[in-house]
Amino acid sequence: MSSNALFPATIRWGAPRTVAAIVVLVLLALLPFIAGSIGSDYYVGFGTRVLIYALAAIGLNFILGFGGMVSLGHAMYVMLGAYAVAIPSTHGIVSGWLHLAVAVAATAVLAAGVGAVALRTSGIAFIMITLAFAQMLYFGAVGLKDYGGDDGLTVAERSIAGLYDLSNPTTLYYVALVTVLLALYLSWRAVLSPFGLVLRATKANARRATALGHPVFRYQLTAYVVSAVVCAVAGVLLANLTKFASPSYGAWTLSGELIVIVILGGIGTVFGPVVGAIILLVLEELLPSLVEMVTPDYKANWMLLLGLFIFVVALVLKRGVFGSLPDVGKHRGGQG
């Protein structure tokens, strides 16, 4: 039995998902122009934050949605990417390409080591090992007293990559958007490839995939490292957005938030993380103001409403918001 017997070789988008994805991408592309027309640059910064979280969620979804690996430590790679910008910037190194290279190289080495240990296990043990490594790195960052320690580190100057100066909010926004589009395309192509078929087969039945002769551990480790690198790139962009790097970027709560984004959008769908990031961050932005209009004690109440919303989505839309859209290609194994 080949891997194609477990999963069809073709993934087709149904018309509703395609239309929804195109509408979202067009709105994202036009956001800076819309913000400029109403005279509010705030929405450009907010949109950039949404895209950065979407990028990190795309990375996590690659192993969570398609590989069945639940990591509660992916925030440590976001933090690593942020410090790859902040620390060199402190020493006068502002080359964006160098920041990116440091982030990718450091993350690849760390993820290979963490993955090699964590993938010897599965289930709850895998979750706890990734969490343990994330906590170790978190407290390691807290111990960097020369670089701010627990207070974090201000980015002295944003990255400069050739003609692209990320100190310009619009430039940073479009760099983030192009990066998300590239990550979506590569994720889509990877899932369609023989590598993706084997990865999805391991999610369905790792023992059967091993019995078919596939080097499951090697495939899973490669996917884990690629996933971590995508999160590190998100960290590079996040540091440029906030001009700050902090151990809090590596807290387990951020890892949990990324998991929520993936589930909200549609776990195991290529475009789902983008939708999930938009939904979660927009709700976090709007709910405090809406609840404050009703009660002054809004700081606690808005989180209750957010939790209720997530509960309803998980209960009613089991495949997430984007994943629950009708898919005419479902009978052929369609995933958006």
pLDDT in tens, 269-319: 999 999 999 999 999 998 888 877 777 655 567 788 888 888 998 888 888
CB count in 10 Å sphere of residue 232: 31
Give the list of residues 6+ apart from residue 159 with CB closer than 8 angstroms, or none: 85, 89, 94, 95, 96, 99, 100, 166, 236, 240
pLDDT of residue 163: 66
Q: To 5 degrees, how large is the angle CA 219–CA 225–CA 227?
A: 100
Torsion of CA 138, 143, 144, 147, to 10 degrees: 90
pLDDT of residue 66: 93
What is the rounded distance in angstroms from the CA atom of residue 278 to the CA atom of residue 46?
Answer: 10
Give the list of residues 6+ apart from residue 20 with CB closer than 8 angstroms, or none: 275, 322, 325
- Share the mean pLDDT of the chain: 88
Give the pairing of strands 164-165 and 160-161. antiparallel
Domain covering 3-332 assigned CATH 1.10.3470 in the classification: yes
From 97-101, 112-116, 203-207, 279-283, the region with the lowest mean pLDDT: 203-207
pLDDT of residue 328: 55
Give the list of residues 6+ apart from residue 260 with CB closer than 8 angstroms, or none: 276, 280, 310
Among 246, 129, 237, 241, residue whose Cα is nearest residue 183: 237
